Amino acid sequence: MPALVAWRHNPVIRAFCERLKANGKNGKAVACAAMRKLVHIDFAILKNNKPFDPLYETNLSLA
């Protein structure tokens, strides 16, 4: 359920899911990919002890 809520309300996950849907993935595959993405985000937050930054990927390209 967190993946489905993130799909609706989290702009980072929403863009990720829309990209997968546009590439022809079915709904369950997209939901599983969103779950995995959330786990990776959670692990990175815990490991680095920093708050979530939705612009992190764009900040990398600007540096």
Range of the domain at 28: 2-62
Instruction: Print the SS3 string covering 1-63.
Output: CHHHHHHHHCHHHHHHHHHHHHCCCCHHHHHHHHHHHHHHHHHHHHHHCCCCCCCHHHHHHHC
C-alpha–C-alpha distance, residues 55 and 3, integer Å: 19
The pair of three-digit structure tokens given for residue 15, joined into one six-digit string:
């863009």
**How many distinct structural domains can be found in the chain?**
1
What's the whole-model pTM score? 0.78
Give 10-residue mean pLDDT values along the chain (63 residues): 92 93 96 94 90 70 50
User: What is residue 17's predicted lDDT score, i.e. its pLDDT?
Assistant: 95
